[in-house]
């Protein structure tokens, strides 16, 4: 799954617990009443005496009533005598339960709503053997993305609806009674009774279709390979499909009617990526098809890797040549690559339990960047990915961090681990280990892992064992240091003494922290790639985990730590050694310039270095510097500008920022030049947005002019700058401009265009207009799953207003939050606050309203808020002093 934005891929728990259900037989006789669960202090897993091997499922959705009927026959093996069968079920009603050989018996069923199970009890023990368990049942069609859910949309063809499923992590049980755990792999054979004029889609190809009369048809799909329940998929709608072939595999893109052309680039990408991954993994993609389905609107995540039928929300799959820009194009590629990588890492080989979800997400994140770097070298992907590593560092350097591999006892806790540690730290650690092991040995280890564990389940150690065997290096020990303990190593170059063409290094290891709690000691075996500036090649020093490591390397000159930035650690230097490196800043590769800037700002945030050091370093950049390095500097300038919010000196900070960025925009202009690098296109978007946030008069005026002219002049707001122009213009909107944007949104026949306009409008500065935007977010004008994202965007400028509005309308907002987003939504509104009073408000809310088991992500938001307050308190005056010295 590809996580997008602040709300993760699963729904927020708002304390709303489903009402207890009584499940009845067709005659009206009650099968059971809910059972109150016992307190659980250990992992909540199903009893192990039953193993499912195949599910034969029939589904009949009734979208008008927002419910569906189902029937499932499950082939099971009973290992030892048992009087009951316990499986997962949530929001389902059972009308009939039959066990083969016990057809005359009506069992009792007890539902435990807390742990989402159904216990089917018989009058006498079931003996070991093979059986068929058949259940007639009914379920709910949801409005948010969990289980089977409905997506309403409006386009040029009028109003439409799509039904799709989302099951990761605990939601297959809302679609079918099942052993809904990743290690209970089985075959799934699905058929559905659906309207004649609609296309049904699942993991495997359609193998039969039978017209039933009354406007209905029965569609049957081929059985899947053995797989985990959360990867099952069903979709239904007014859809179109386009395919290409990769060998014998049909690669498809599926969209709502009329949008196929917008999916062509994604289809081409998916086919090329599949070829590359077939080669890399050494195990060809095993299914006969690989569909990529675009779903309108969306919630708190981008895509889900259902085997053979990947679900994407439209914003990360479709590209409109009139509206999309280079950032959109690269994002589509990255998300497609991420989800296709999951077809091996996650689908073919699956973690045994949710503790090791990082095996899915970290590896897919690494593979998406690796294949993009290989197939699009001009994108300089690893430079771009440094921003993701920074996100991991910032979370990992606070007291609220957690290990990459952590204990998950309940499915509710899974929602807490879809974060930057799982994705970006996982990606960074894998990149570091590949760099240390060597590209070829690392790949051979991965191939061996795939061959050994295909269609099975693994734990993290299985991967590292395979790579260590192939590389003949201590991969397991290094990996365990990084994934089983939290925190960020801090490697300081204390001395570098040259003698006879060699340099003796003294490296000191500590732990980097952004708060005092996170600065406690830690020990890592860290592969530190070093280089002598001006000489070719690099050398690797493996620190032992002890405080001091001495090493001798060839060559003399300024020393670069983490050369190429493949390592997961912060770098620091003794003052004289840093000065020698900075003096030759312009001789450094872009990756090492970016590393100096990132580490320099982080050291300032953690109190290790004065802010003036960073500002002096960043002032060395010019309009001719690397675009990604400029982007990073621009992002920090924006952060520093925020320090002065409401302060009379904000104008000075903004003026300095404009003086640094305007020459770059003047150089590259508002329109692309012939043959321009894609990274310059990304920089242009970033600069226009940044200068708009700094209230640059010329940029704001030009953005407004272009926005107003776009109705009559198609060239005023072309796709390559459209999102930035809309964002800047509407953030500075008055009532007339706001009303014009709303008119355009309502008149548009494109749901994507409407959602883009709503998002830009939600960034408005004017408080009265922000209040109108909040009201709009919970109106029928805005899709229910888009509303929470708009409120989050409003909170960026109006946190108190957005917070109170959300408290007042929590029940309505919750309808648009999927099952992983609920406990995270309210804290996300204040994660960026710099106000001590709002930090206390957030802390009190977490204590009173967020369940202890749901607090990991909430506490991370609180940690960020506290760090913001500290940073503002400590650094605003120092930044102001630096500005005054520079004449601002």
Catalytic residues: 339
Q: At what angle do helices 611-618 and 590-605 cross, to 10 degrees?
A: 160
CB 815 within 8 A of CB 778: no
* Residue 529 β-bridge partners: 540
Q: Find all residues with CB under 8 Å of 217, minimum gap 6, and list them.
A: 193, 194, 195, 196, 209, 210, 211
Of residues 825, 817, 810, 751, the one with CA closest to residue 166: 817
Residue 868 three-state SS: helix
Sign of CA dihedral 419, 423, 424, 430: positive
Round to whole Å and give the CA distance between 828 and 793: 10
290 vs 308: CA distance, rounded Å: 4
CB-based contact 493:482 (threshold 8 Å): no
Residues 791, 759: contact at Cβ < 8 Å?
no
The secondary element (H helix, E strand) that includes residue 413 is helix 411-414
Indicate the SS3 state at residue 329.
helix
Burial call 105-116: b when 16+ CB within 10 Å, e when fewer: ebbebbbbbbbb
Cis peptide before 616 (omega within 30 of 0): no
Residues with Cβ within 8 Å of residue 673, at least 6 apart in sequence: none
Instruction: Classify residue 497 as exposed, middle or buried by CB count within 10 Å of its CB (0-12, 13-18, 19+).
Output: exposed
Q: CA-based Rg of the chain, rounded to a whole angstrom?
A: 28
DSSP SS3 for 217? strand
Across 307-318, b (16+ Cβ under 10 Å) vs e yields bbbbbbbbbbbb
DSSP run (H or E) holding 755? helix 751-761
Residues 6 or more apart whose Cβ sits within 8 Å of residue 852: none
Indicate the burial class of 500 (C-beta count within 10 angstroms; 0-12, 13-18, 19 or more): exposed
For residues 669 and 617, is the Cβ–Cβ distance under 8 A?
Answer: no
Reported in sequence order, the residue ranges of 178-287 that DSSP labels E, i.e. its strands, are 187-195, 199-202, 206-213, 216-221, 234-237, 239-246, 249-256
> Long-range pairs for 648-653 at CB < 8 Å and ≥24 separation?
649/880, 649/883, 652/880, 652/883, 652/884, 652/888, 653/879, 653/880, 653/883, 653/888
- Count of residues making up the chain: 888
Distances (CA, A) of 79 to 54, 82, 121, 130: 16, 9, 17, 9
Measure the CA–CA gap between 763 and 796, rounded to whole angstroms: 7
Give, as one character, the DSSP assignment of residue 587: G
Q: 431: buried, middle or exposed (CB in 10 Å: 19+, 13-18, 0-12)? A: buried
Q: How buried is residue 812: exposed, middle or buried, by Cβ count under 10 Å (0-12/13-18/19+)?
A: middle
Q: Which residues pair with 213 in a beta bridge?
A: 216
CA pair distance 610, 619, nearest whole angstrom: 15
CA dist 250 → 90, 267, 637, 780, 852 (Å)? 34, 11, 48, 39, 46
Helix (H) or strand (E) holding 57: strand 50-62
Q: Where are the beta strands (DSSP E) in 280-333?
A: 289-295, 301-304, 309-313
């Amino acid at each position: 799954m590809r996580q997008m934005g602040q709300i993760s891929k699963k729904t927020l728990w708002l304390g709303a617990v489903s009402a207890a259900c009584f499940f009845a037989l067709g005659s009206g006789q009650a099968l059971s009443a809910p059972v109150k669960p016992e307190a659980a202090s250990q992992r909540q897993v199903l009893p192990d005496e039953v193993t499912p091997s195949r599910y034969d499922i029939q589904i009949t959705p009734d979208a008008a009533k927002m419910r569906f009927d189902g029937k499932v026959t499950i082939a099971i093996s009973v290992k030892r005598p048992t009087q009951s069968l316990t499986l997962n079920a949530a929001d389902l009603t059972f009308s009939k339960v039959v066990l083969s050989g016990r057809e005359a018996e009506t069992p009792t069923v007890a539902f435990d709503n807390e742990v989402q199970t159904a216990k089917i009890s018989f009058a006498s023990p079931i003996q070991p053997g093979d059986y068929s368990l058949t259940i007639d049942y009914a379920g709910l069609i949801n409005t948010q993305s969990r289980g089977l859910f409905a997506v309403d949309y409006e386009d040029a063809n009028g109003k439409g609806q799509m039904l799709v499923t989302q099951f990761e992590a605990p939601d297959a049980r809302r679609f079918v009674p099942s052993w809904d755990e990743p290690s209970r792999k089985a075959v799934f054979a699905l058929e559905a009774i659906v309207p004649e004029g609609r296309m049904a889609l699942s993991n495997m190809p359609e193998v039969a279709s039978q017209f039933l009369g009354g406007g209905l048809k029965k569609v049957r799909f081929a059985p899947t390979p053995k797989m985990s329940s959360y990867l099952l998929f069903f979709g239904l709608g007014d859809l179109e499909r386009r395919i290409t072939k990769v060998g014998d595999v049909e690669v498809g893109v599926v969209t709502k009617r009329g949008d196929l052309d917008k999916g062509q680039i994604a289809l081409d990408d998916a086919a090329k990526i599949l070829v590359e991954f077939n080669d890399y993994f050494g195990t060809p993609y095993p299914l006969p098809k690989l569909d990529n389905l675009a779903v309108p609107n969306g919630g708190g995540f981008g895509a889900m890797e259902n085997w053979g039928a990947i679900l994407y929300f439209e914003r990360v799959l479709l590209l409109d040549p009139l509206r999309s820009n280079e950032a959109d194009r690269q994002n589509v590629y990255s998300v497609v690559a991420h989800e296709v990588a999951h077809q091996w890492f996650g689908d073919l080989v699956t973690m045994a339990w949710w503790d090791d979800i990082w095996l899915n997400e970290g590896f897919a994140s690494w593979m998406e960047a690796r294949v993009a770097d290989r197939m699009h070298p001009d994108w300089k992907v690893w430079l771009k990915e440094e921003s993701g590593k920074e996100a991991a560092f910032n979370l990992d350097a606070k007291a609220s961090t957690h290990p990459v591999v952590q204990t998950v006892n309940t499915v509710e806790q899974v929602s807490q681990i879809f974060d930057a540690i799982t994705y970006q730290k996982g990606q960074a650690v894998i990149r570091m280990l590949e760099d240390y092991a060597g590209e070829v040995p690392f790949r051979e280890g991965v191939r061996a892992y795939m061959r050994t564990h295909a269609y099975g389940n693994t734990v993290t150690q299985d991967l590292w064992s395979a790579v260590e065997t192939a590389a003949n290096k201590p991969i397991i020990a290094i990996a365990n240091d990084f994934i089983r303990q939290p925190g960020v190593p801090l490697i300081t170059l204390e001395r570098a003494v040259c003698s006879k063409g060699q340099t003796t290094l003294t490296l000191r290891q500590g732990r980097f922290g952004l708060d005092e709690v996170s600065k406690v000691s830690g020990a890592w075996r860290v592969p530190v790639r070093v280089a002598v500036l001006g000489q070719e090649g690099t050398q690797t020093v493996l620190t032992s985990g002890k405080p001091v490591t001495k090493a001798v390397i060839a060559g003399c000159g300024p020393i670069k730590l983490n050369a190429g930035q493949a390592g997961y650690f912060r770098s620091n230097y003794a003052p004289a050694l840093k000065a020698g490196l900075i003096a030759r800043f312009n001789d450094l590769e872009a990756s090492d310039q970016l590393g100096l800037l990132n580490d320099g700002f982080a050291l300032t945030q953690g109190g290790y270095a004065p802010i003036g050091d960073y500002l002096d370093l960043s002032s060395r950049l010019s309009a001719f510097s690397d675009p990604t390095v400029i982007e990073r500097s621009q992002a920090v300038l924006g952060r520093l500008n925020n320090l002065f919010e409401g302060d009379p000196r904000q104008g000075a900070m903004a003026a300095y920022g404009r003086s640094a960025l305007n020459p770059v925009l003047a150089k590259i202009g508002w329109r692309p030049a012939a043959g321009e690098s894609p990274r310059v296109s990304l920089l242009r978007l970033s600069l226009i947005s940044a200068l708009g946030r700094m209230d640059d008069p010329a940029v704001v005026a030009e953005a407004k002019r272009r926005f107003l002219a776009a109705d009559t002049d198609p060239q005023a707001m072309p796709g390559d700058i459209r999102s930035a122009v809309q964002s800047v213009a509407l953030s500075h909107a008055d009532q007339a401009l706001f009303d014009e944007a709303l008119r355009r949104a309502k008149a548009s026949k494109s749901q994507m265009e409407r959602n883009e306009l709503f998002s830009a409008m939600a960034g408005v500065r004017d408080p009265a207009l922000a209040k109108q935007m909040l009201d709009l977010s919970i109106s029928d004008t805005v899709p229910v799953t888009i509303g929470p994202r708009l409120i989050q965007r409003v909170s960026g400028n109006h946190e108190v207003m957005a917070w109170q509005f959300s408290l007042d309308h929590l029940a309505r907002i919750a309808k648009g939050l999927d099952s992983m987003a609920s406990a995270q939504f309210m804290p996300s509104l204040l994660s960026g606050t710099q106000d001590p009073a709002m930090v206390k408000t957030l802390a009190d809310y977490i204590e009173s309203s967020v369940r202890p088991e749901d607090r990991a992500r909430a506490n991370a938001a609180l940690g960020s808020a506290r760090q913001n307050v500290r940073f503002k308190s400590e650094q605003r005056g120092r930044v102001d002093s630096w500005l005054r010295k520079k004449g601002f």
